Structure 1
């Protein structure tokens, strides 16, 4: 898809596959624009064809036409910015992928919290002249490190949210699990629900939601009696990897809540190492590798490279 930014406006060259489509079809069926945002675009005449305001349901586009959308209108910052060292993996006018450190919450749980990744990204937006509130597409647990995807405007978050529902955004994790995991490759399909004896913990429960985790053993450490796993989630339940591995008798190293042990700052050995998705506007496949910090006692650059095997 041929696209570019022009100030507050986003320009798209109509591709051949959209020949004869109405503007309304592009907005509703191709880009899944929410009704509230559709209303704003219409009311403010923020969508044009060849620089002309047109009737959305009557006007059909032709290959090579220019579609303009006012996507980059300045928006108020809705969270408190807090300076943080932000490790940017990928960035363009629409998206930002950040490598989250372990020990940091993704977003505030109370208005008084200002030390989360969202607050740090808000400060990054301020420093770089991005007049918007960062919107996270998915989350990671506080003690899980790795790639998190953010949207920079309302249409991007809507489109990416739809992709998340369709499971076309792929997240690949690396983890150290206690013991020698066998078989070396498999699928764990156990429903996950709330643990009624604990305010935060989850558990395998017949009354829980369907959950599916794919895993593969990458290597085994005799010294630590632990397996390095590559994991892919087919579903995205809270604590899914932690619950599934614990249920199989191989909890994450350092994950005390689910039976793990370890000396590494008591943090679970789980890292979101690879994020793969189709860019909502350019339709390019974007692959983002999240490397651990230098000197990490859990994961190394070599471990990340193993994902390409």
Structure 2
């Protein structure tokens, strides 16, 4: 498979600098492309160090790879798909990627099976991950080049993720920002904690609706960073752990913790347009009666 990129910038640099700095092709893949002799500019073999011109057409091969990890037939809920990426609606209770060598039932295993059925010769690349009990929109790349570009977009915060969380207690402030570093908890292998020596973590939140009778609050959240358990740790640090999240101090018990990746906005690789998807809120998100109410958002 070959994809074509149209040079739209004024006074573009050389081919190698254009692919590396403007498209986001990593060093290893750039070398592989160069050695393949299959890259063309205006259907001719290019001189990689010569400047491009606005309007040039760059043709890039997409190399076939061995599909991995082990494929498993799992029902997938597809929110969006094109030739470069796949956005799924993940159920709570399934890992994003295998939790161990002998785990063949993660979402990544299911995508590997789907790739084989669709004759997509590529290893599975999840661009971000969701905790096992977190549901909602999750992004996968279909080949190495789109994976590299999407990784770069995520790092540059151009991929926007919006979450919904049902938290214990009535949150007093209508909105706010939590800027507290997060590190590992040395007393609990799977737990994270606020730590002055941890990684920078920034979460923005706003109250969507309060449920005084149940003493719960529905909160919308956006992340500037993507630390492990970030929302769970940050909301717990405010005294409002997620409903059902006993690992971080919730008093309530539930089949899952109430966190849902609600919306996802992605700049489409190779095109000047964006993709926006909304993942329906599942009925097991919170208490049954509240979930029916929240589902109407």
Matches within 5 A, 1:199-238: 199-238=189-228
SS of match in other structure, 2:88: strand
Matches within 5 A, 1:1-309: 8-15=1-8, 17-63=9-55, 65-71=56-62, 73-265=63-255, 267-293=256-282, 295-298=283-286, 303=294, 306=297
Report deviation, 1:21.
3.5
Question: Residues 181 and 195 of structure 2 are in contact (CA less than 8 Å); yes or no, is this contact kept in structure 1?
Answer: yes
Question: Residues 273 and 304 of structure 1 are in contact (CA less than 8 Å); yes or no, is this contact kept in structure 2?
Answer: no
Question: Residues 118 and 134 of structure 1 are in contact (CA less than 8 Å); yes or no, is this contact kept in structure 2?
Answer: yes
SS of match in other structure, 2:89: strand
Question: Residues 264 and 297 of structure 1 are in contact (CA less than 8 Å); yes or no, is this contact kept in structure 2?
Answer: no
TM-score computed with the length of structure 1 as normaliser: 0.90
Aligned length: 294
Q: What are the superposed Cα offsets for residues 29-79 of structure 1, whole Å, 9 maximum, x if unpaired? A: 11121121111111111210121111111252342x3221002x3211121
Unaligned runs of at least 5 residues, structure 1: 1-7
- Once residues 131 and 178 of structure 2 are traced to their aligned partners in structure 1, the CA distance between those partners, rounded to angstroms, is 20
Change (3 A) 1:27 1:263: same
Q: What are the superposed Cα offsets for residues 177-236 of structure 1, whole Å, 9 maximum, x if unpaired? A: 001001111111111111111111111112212211111110011232100000011111
Unaligned runs of at least 5 residues, structure 2: none
Report deviation, 1:167.
1.5
Change (3 A) 1:283 1:301: farther
Question: Residues 292 and 301 of structure 1 are in contact (CA less than 8 Å); yes or no, is this contact kept in structure 2?
Answer: no
SS of match in other structure, 1:148: strand
Question: Residues 254 and 264 of structure 1 are in contact (CA less than 8 Å); yes or no, is this contact kept in structure 2?
Answer: yes
SS of match in other structure, 1:207: coil
Report deviation, 1:18.
4.7
- Once residues 27 and 278 of structure 1 are traced to their aligned partners in structure 2, the CA distance between those partners, rounded to angstroms, is 17
User: Which stretch of the first structure deviates more once superposed, 245-254 or 273-282?
Assistant: 273-282
Change (3 A) 1:68 1:177: same
SS of match in other structure, 1:39: helix
SS of match in other structure, 2:114: helix
- Once residues 166 and 281 of structure 2 are traced to their aligned partners in structure 1, the CA distance between those partners, rounded to angstroms, is 14
